[in-house]
Structure 1
Amino acid sequence: MIPRTPKALASRLRRRPGTAGAVPRTRLRFLDLLAEAHAGILQRPGRSALTALGTVLGVGTFVAILGLTATASSQIDARFNTLVATEVTIEDIGGDSAERIANAFPDDAPSRLEHLHGVRHAGVYWHVDVTGGSTVTAAPVGDTAGGEEAPVVAATPGVLSAAGPTLSQGRIFDAFHQRRAEDVVVIGSGLADRLGITTLETQPAVFIGGTPLTVIGIVDDVARQEDLLLSVIVPSTTAEKYWGGPARGERAKMLVSTRLGAATQIAREAALALDPAHPDRFKSIPPPDPRTLRGNVSGDLDQLLLLLAGICLVIGTVGIANTTLVAVLERTAEIGVRRALGARARHITAQFLTESGALGALGGLVGTSLGTLTVVGVAVARDWTPIVHPATVAAAPLIGLATGLLAGLYPAWRASGIQPVEALRR
C-alpha cells in the first residue's frame, strides 16, 4: 500500500532548482502517478471490481456480438450454398394467346430434367382449383366436418423429393401412386394437428370437396418450398382425375434440386430439354447471387447488433462515471490535503483519469476474454465454426481504456476544482 501521510505526500513534491525564495512549483512523476492510482484502486477493491464490471459487460457484449455475427454470417453462406444455390424454379408461361395451353410441361418432364447432368430431383406442381372450395375435413359429417381452409397442391413425386421433407410419420407418395392415380395425400404437421390426426396407424382420411383421400405421410419440415407445409399435397394424376389440370390463371411450375454449382447451368438448359421445339414456353429462374444476398443480410445483422453493443458500452461508461464521481466525493478530504501540500489541479485530474482508465482497460481485457469464450461456447453448442476477427480482439481492450478515460473526465474535472480550504472544512 502506498503511504498517504502528509510527510510521505510531501516527499513527492519538488521545488524547481535555482529559484530560492520563489513560489514552490510541484511536479508528479509518471511512476508516482501509477503508484497513486494503484493505491486508489486497491483502497476499495470491491467498489473497483463493481466499477470495472460495467466495462466488462459492455466490451464482452461488443466482442460476443461481433463474433456471433461473423459466425452466423458464415452459416448463412453455407445455407445459401447448400440450399438456395442448388434450387431452380421453372415456370410455364405458355406461348402467345392463340397457342396458350393448360399445361406446357410434357408428361415425362421430370424424367427429361433428371437426365441432365447435375440434377438431383425434379417435379411438376400446381395449385388445384377444387370444385366446391378447398375446405379440408377429417370426416364427411359430424363434429370434425367443419374442416380447415388449406391450399391443395398437385405434385409429381419429384417435388417432394426436391423439397427435402422431414417426416414425423408415414412416407411420401412415389411413382407407384403417381402411375395408378392413388387416392392418397401428404399433409403438414400443423394441418394434421388442426384436423385431429395424431397417428397414421388407423389409416385416417381427409375429405377435399367431398372426395376421400388417405393420409400416408405427415411432413414436419422441409428444406425448401416452405409453403408445402401449409398445403395438402396430392399426386398430380389423382388431381387430374378429380379436378382436372391447372386452371388458366394458375400455371404449373417445376421445382428442381441440383448438385452444388450446377444450378446456373441447369437453368440455361432446362427449357430446351423440356421442349426443343418451343423453349420459349418456359421461364427458368436461377438462384440469386449468394454474395449479394448474404451481404445484405449480414449488413443488416451487423448494424442491428453493433447498435446493441454500443448501447452496452454507453451503460458501462455511465456506470464508471457514476462510481468514480462517488469516489471523488468520498475522497474530498484526501484531495484537500494534497492540494494544501502543493499538488496542482492537473495532478489530481491525472490521478483520477489514470484510475478510471486502468479500470476501463482491466474491464476491457476481462470482457474480451468472456466475449470470446461466449462465441466459442455458442459455436460448439450449435456445431458451428467459431469466427472472431483478430482486429476485434485487439481493439476491444483499447475500447475499454477509452471508455474508462471518457467516463473519468467529469469526475476528474470535479476533483481538480476542489479547493483545499473547502475540503478541510468537511
Structure 2
Amino acid sequence: MHPRDLLNEAMAGLLARPVRSALTTLGTVLGITTLVVTLGVAATAGNQIVGRFDELTATSVTVEVPENPFPLVDWAAVSRVTRLRGVISAAALAESERSANLSVRSNDIVDPTRVTDQTLTVVASSPGLPAAVKGRMVEGRYFDAGHISRGDKVVVLGLHAAKMLGVTRLERAPAIFIGTQAYTVIGVLGDLKREKSLASAVLLPPAVGRRYGLSTVTRVLVNTGLGAAELIAEQAPAALSPGNEALLQVISPPSPTRARDAVEGDVNALFLILGLVSLVVGAVGIANVTLVTVMERVAEIGLRRALGAARRHVAAQFLLESTLTGLTGGIIGASAGIVVIVAVCAAKQWTPVLDVRLAVMAPAAGAAVGLLAGLYPALRAARMEPVNALR
C-alpha cells in the first residue's frame, strides 16, 4: 500500500467520527499537558517555597529616614542601636540627589589613552558600614572615628568604582578628585552581600560628606541574629529617634508565622492545580467511554425508543450511568488516596494530616465530573431516531 494511500485512509478514519476522534485527541493533549504542568508548576512552586524560607532566615533590617526640616536621626544614634540585644552590626548612610552623579577622576592629568573621569555616586557613611553590608575590605582599611573627628579628606571606593577609576594599589596613597577637591583613597570595599549598588560608589566620612549635602542620615542598615529581626524592627526606631519613631519606616523580613502561612498557601495552590488537571483528564476519559458505549448500543437505543421510551428517558439513562461511573471512581479514589497518604506517612515517619471534608466531598466531585462528562453522549443518544437506529 502506498504511503499516501495509507495516510488518506487514516485521515478518513479519523474524520468519519470527528467528535470521537476529537475526544481521544483531547485525552492525549490533557495527559501531556498534565505532565508539563506537573513538572513546571512543581519547579515554580519549589522555587517559591525556597524563597519563602530564605525570607524566614533573613536577618537584615533597614530603617528609612524621611526628609524633615529637623534631622530625625543623628550619626551618633547608630551606637544606640548596636547596644540592642540581638544586633550584630549597624551603620548609617546619607544619600542625596545632589551627590548621585558627581564627576570623579583618579588624577588631574589629561591622558588621551585612558578614561579617568567617571560619573559616580557619592555616599557618606558611619565607620561600621563593611560589617553592615556584609562585605570585606579588598584593599586597605575603612575610615574610623579618628578620621571623622579630625575631618580627614579620605575616601573608600567600592570595588567596581575602583576598577572604573583605575585604582588598584594603595601603597602610594593614591588620590581621587571629586570636582576640584582631592581625597586620599585608604581602602577598597568589595564582596557586598547587602546594598550591592555601593560597589559603584565613593564612600566618605560624615564630616566630609557635608560638602555634598550628605549631612543628614537617610538610611540605617542593621544586621541581627537569627530570630531577632522582628524584635529589632520594633525597637530600632525608638533607639534611633526617641519620640519620633512613628515617622521612621522599617523594612524587615516576614515573621515565621507569615512565612509558614505563605509556604502552606503555595503548596496548597500547587496540588490544587494538579488535582484540577487530573479531574479534567478523568472527565475526558468518562466522556470518551460513554460515547463509545452509545455507539455500541445503537440497536438497544433504537429498540427502547420504538417501545415508547422518550428522548428524556434515554438521556437520563446515560447521564445516570456516567454519574454512577464518576461516583464509583470518586469513592474508590478517595479511599485509595487515604490509604496512600497513611502509607507514605508511615514510611516517612510523618504525622498524617487529612481534611475530613475532602474525603466526604471527593465522591460528590467524582459524581459531578461524571455528570458533566456524560452530557454530550447522552444528548447524542437522545437525538437518535428509532428507525435509523434499528436500521
> For the superposition of Structure 1 and Structure 2, which TM-score range results when normalised by the shorter chain?
0.5 to 0.7
Paired with 2:36 and 2:334, the residues of 1 have a C-alpha distance of 8
Query: Is the contact between residue 77 and residue 241 of structure 2 (CA under 8 Å) also seen in structure 1?
Result: no
Paired with 2:197 and 2:33, the residues of 1 have a C-alpha distance of 49
- Residue of structure 2 aligned with 1:122, choices 73, 90, 93: 90
Give the secondary structure class of the aligned counterpart of 2:193.
Answer: strand
Deviation of 1:268 (Å) = 2.0
Paired with 2:107 and 2:324, the residues of 1 have a C-alpha distance of 79
Paired with 2:286 and 2:89, the residues of 1 have a C-alpha distance of 67
**1:152 maps to 2:119:** no
**1:350 maps to 2:320:** yes
**1:422 maps to 2:388:** yes
- Residue of structure 2 aligned with 1:334, choices 293, 296, 311: 296
Query: Is the contact between residue 183 and residue 213 of structure 1 (CA under 8 Å) also seen in structure 2?
Result: yes
**1:405 maps to 2:373:** no
Paired with 1:323 and 1:127, the residues of 2 have a C-alpha distance of 64
Q: Structure 2: which amino acid aligns with 1:123?
A: A
Paired with 1:122 and 1:290, the residues of 2 have a C-alpha distance of 20
Equivalent residues, number: 335
Deviation of 1:236 (Å) = 0.9
Query: Is the contact between residue 320 and residue 407 of structure 1 (CA under 8 Å) also seen in structure 2?
Result: no
Query: Is the contact between residue 158 and residue 189 of structure 2 (CA under 8 Å) also seen in structure 1?
Result: yes
Task: Give deviations 1:167-203, integer Å, cap 9, x for gaps.
Answer: 69558725388458474424265x678x397x95798
Q: Structure 2: which amino acid aligns with 1:247?
A: G
TM (norm. structure 2) is 0.56
Paired with 2:367 and 2:357, the residues of 1 have a C-alpha distance of 15
**Residues 317/349 of structure 1: CA separation in 2 closer, same or farther (3 Å cut):** same
1:18 corresponds to: none
1:173 corresponds to: 142
Paired with 1:138 and 1:186, the residues of 2 have a C-alpha distance of 11
Greater shift, 206-215 or 344-353, is seen at 206-215
Residue identity over aligned pairs, in percent, reads 17
**1:75 maps to 2:53:** yes
**1:221 maps to 2:193:** yes
Greater shift, 54-63 or 113-122, is seen at 54-63
Query: Is the contact between residue 122 and residue 204 of structure 2 (CA under 8 Å) also seen in structure 1?
Result: no
Task: Give deviations 1:399-426, integer Å, cap 9, x for gaps.
Answer: 973673364142342354254643454x
Paired with 1:336 and 1:72, the residues of 2 have a C-alpha distance of 56
- Residue of structure 2 aligned with 1:269, choices 239, 242, 245: 239
Paired with 2:339 and 2:175, the residues of 1 have a C-alpha distance of 58
- Residue of structure 2 aligned with 1:247, choices 213, 219, 228: 213
Paired with 2:162 and 2:29, the residues of 1 have a C-alpha distance of 56
Query: Is the contact between residue 237 and residue 245 of structure 2 (CA under 8 Å) also seen in structure 1?
Result: no
Paired with 1:196 and 1:398, the residues of 2 have a C-alpha distance of 71
Paired with 2:295 and 2:379, the residues of 1 have a C-alpha distance of 14
Query: Is the contact between residue 319 and residue 375 of structure 2 (CA under 8 Å) also seen in structure 1?
Result: no
1:382 corresponds to: none
Give the secondary structure class of the aligned counterpart of 1:185.
Answer: strand
2:201 corresponds to: 232
2:156 corresponds to: 185
Deviation of 1:390 (Å) = 4.3
Give the secondary structure class of the aligned counterpart of 2:74.
Answer: coil
**Residues 321/114 of structure 1: CA separation in 2 closer, same or farther (3 Å cut):** closer
Query: Is the contact between residue 158 and residue 198 of structure 2 (CA under 8 Å) also seen in structure 1?
Result: yes
**Residues 292/115 of structure 1: CA separation in 2 closer, same or farther (3 Å cut):** closer
Task: Give deviations 1:253-297, integer Å, cap 9, x for gaps.
Answer: 45152551234234223335xxxxxx77996545579569959x9
Paired with 2:157 and 2:371, the residues of 1 have a C-alpha distance of 63
Query: Is the contact between residue 137 and residue 208 of structure 1 (CA under 8 Å) also seen in structure 2?
Result: yes
Paired with 2:60 and 2:294, the residues of 1 have a C-alpha distance of 66
Paired with 2:244 and 2:370, the residues of 1 have a C-alpha distance of 68
**Residues 114/349 of structure 1: CA separation in 2 closer, same or farther (3 Å cut):** closer
Task: Give deviations 1:128-170, integer Å, cap 9, x for gaps.
Answer: 687995134577644652755432111122233223x356955
Paired with 1:323 and 1:213, the residues of 2 have a C-alpha distance of 77
Paired with 2:328 and 2:170, the residues of 1 have a C-alpha distance of 72
Paired with 1:391 and 1:73, the residues of 2 have a C-alpha distance of 27
Unaligned regions of 5+ residues in structure 2, if any? Answer: 1-23, 341-349
Structure with the larger RCO, 1 or 2 (CA within 8 Å, 6+ apart): 1
Q: Structure 1: which amino acid aligns with 2:370?
A: L
Paired with 2:333 and 2:140, the residues of 1 have a C-alpha distance of 56
Paired with 2:178 and 2:367, the residues of 1 have a C-alpha distance of 68
Unaligned regions of 5+ residues in structure 1, if any? Answer: 1-45, 273-278, 371-385
Greater shift, 330-339 or 134-143, is seen at 134-143
